């Protein structure tokens, strides 16, 4: 690591990127990347999905540096800016470019703390602001039809209805849904224990329709979706008897949505948006919705108030004689 440290310090003093013989990046860069990801997973409790996104972004930047015959650790602000500009030119969304910039800032903060370099070149790079798009919401008429769509004479149809009721009735993320175990359900208190981002637990209540769908699934269908190799603790299983994965849920939701929602554009996360918006439409307190969703920052929840205002405006425009 001594050679990398020396080169990193040279770059930090303003001499630019450090070339390597033969145009290869030394394995020390890989070691630092792996160390950072291990740190983020163990100490900051980032979710597996976030860690996977960070790894993809950093490996993408490492490949960019390799082609530039430089080191990731020793890269300068020009290299970081060129990389992000290239990704935008290649068609990456603003949110994707912003996430890559965030990953690089995190990496170089880590490198500075480890004394691998003296500065954070990514901190000097401005990234495009994310486009503020109002989250899509499923209309109530479509929602009622959608929830009633899964067949009740098939064990996987019964499972699907329980999943849809959980997504809409609790507003949980698809990753949180897939991680649920049978013991996480508390029918006496009508609530489910959810392990959210940062491995933070929260308790989310569910209503009678959700409870009924879950009871029916557990009593009649769940045993039929299992096999000898199924993990016994899991709540939901796919057709191979394994714990249901996020792709399984997305494919299932897409199949039902395609039959009901015009355009077929709705995902498991759309149910979460719908859950929050319908609560606020009915007068729920914003901070209560924040707790139910598991948002750390209230500003994340406030976007749903904009959705409600948009719907109020739509109602006014459609119904008021002077609109």
Of 39, 142, 202, 269, catalytic: 269
Q: How confident is the model at residue 1 (pLDDT cuts 50, 70, 90)?
A: very low
Examine the residue annotation and report whether 173 is marked as an active-site residue of this protein: yes
Full set of structural domains in the chain with CATH: 2-124 (1.10.150.130), 140-319 (1.10.443.10)
Does residue 132 carry a pLDDT above 70? no
**Predicted pLDDT of residue 19:** 37
Average pLDDT, the chain: 82
Kindly give, in sequence order, each residue whose CB lies less than 8 Å from that of residue 261, ignoring residues fewer than 6 positions away.
Answer: 138, 142, 146
Of 9, 114, 142, 197, catalytic: 197
Does residue 43 carry a pLDDT above 70? no
List the single range of 12-21, 52-61, 63-72, 125-134 with lowest mean pLDDT.
12-21
Does residue 298 carry a pLDDT above 60? yes
**Predicted pLDDT of residue 28:** 62
List the single range of 66-75, 222-231, 274-283, 311-320 with lowest mean pLDDT.
311-320
Of 7, 161, 272, 273, catalytic: 272
State mean pLDDT over 166-189. 94
CB neighbourhood size of 222 (10 A): 21
Which has the higher per-residue pLDDT, 210 or 130? 210
CA angle 137, 48, 186 (to 5 degrees): 65
Which has the higher per-residue pLDDT, 280 or 215? 215
Does residue 180 carry a pLDDT above 50? yes
90, burial (CB in 10 Å: exposed 0-12, middle 13-18, buried 19+): exposed
Q: How confident is the model at residue 209 (pLDDT cuts 50, 70, 90)?
A: very high
Q: How far is CA 156 from the centre of its chain?
A: 26
Does residue 181 carry a pLDDT above 60? yes
State mean pLDDT over 222-239. 96
What are the b/e assignments for 123-155, b being 16+ CB within 10 Å? eebebeeeeeeeebbbeeeebeebbebbeeeeb
Of 161, 173, 243, 278, catalytic: 173
Q: Helices 246-260 and 268-281 meet at what angle, rounded to 10? A: 70
Examine the residue annotation and report whether 272 is marked as an active-site residue of this protein: yes
**Predicted pLDDT of residue 310:** 64
Examine the residue annotation and report whether 304 is marked as an active-site residue of this protein: yes
pLDDT in tens, 100-130: 998 899 888 888 888 888 889 888 887 766 6
**Predicted pLDDT of residue 23:** 38
CA distance linking residue 194 with residue 185, whole number of Å: 9
pTM > 0.95: yes or no: no
Q: How far apart are the first and last CA of the chain?
A: 69
Which has the higher per-residue pLDDT, 295 or 164? 164
């Amino acid at each position: 690591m001594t050679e990398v440290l020396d080169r990193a310090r040279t770059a930090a003093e303003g001499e630019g990127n450090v070339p390597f013989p033969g145009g290869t990046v030394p394995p020390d860069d890989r070691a630092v990347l792996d160390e950072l990801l291990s740190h983020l997973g163990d100490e900051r409790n980032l979710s597996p999905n976030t860690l996977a996104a960070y790894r993809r972004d950093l490996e993408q930047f490492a490949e960019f540096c390799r082609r530039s015959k430089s080191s990731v650790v020793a890269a300068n602000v020009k290299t970081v800016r060129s990389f992000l500009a290239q990704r935008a030119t290649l068609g990456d969304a603003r949110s994707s470019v912003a996430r890559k910039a965030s990953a690089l800032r995190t990496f170089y903060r880590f490198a500075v703390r480890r004394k691998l370099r003296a500065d954070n070149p990514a901190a000097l790079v401005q990234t495009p602001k994310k486009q503020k798009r109002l989250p899509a919401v499923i209309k109530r008429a479509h929602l009622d039809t959608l929830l009633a769509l899964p067949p009740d004479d098939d064990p996987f149809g019964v499972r699907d209805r329980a999943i849809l009721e959980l997504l809409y009735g609790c507003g949980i993320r698809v990753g949180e849904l897939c991680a649920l175990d049978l013991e996480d359900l508390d029918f006496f208190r009508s609530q489910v224990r959810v392990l959210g981002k940062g491995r933070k637990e929260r308790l989310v209540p569910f209503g009678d329709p959700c409870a009924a769908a879950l009871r029916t699934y557990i009593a009649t269908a769940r045993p039929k979706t299992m096999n000898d190799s199924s993990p016994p603790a899991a709540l939901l299983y796919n057709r191979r008897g394994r714990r249901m994965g996020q792709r399984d849920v997305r494919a299932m939701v897409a199949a039902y949505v395609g039959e009901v929602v015009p355009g077929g554009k709705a995902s498991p996360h759309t149910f979460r948006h719908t859950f929050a918006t319908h609560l606020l439409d009915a007068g729920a307190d914003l901070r209560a919705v924040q707790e139910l969703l598991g948002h750390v920052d209230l500003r994340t929840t406030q976007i749903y108030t904009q959705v409600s205002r948009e719907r109020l405006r739509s109602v006014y425009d459609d119904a008021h004689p002077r609109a």
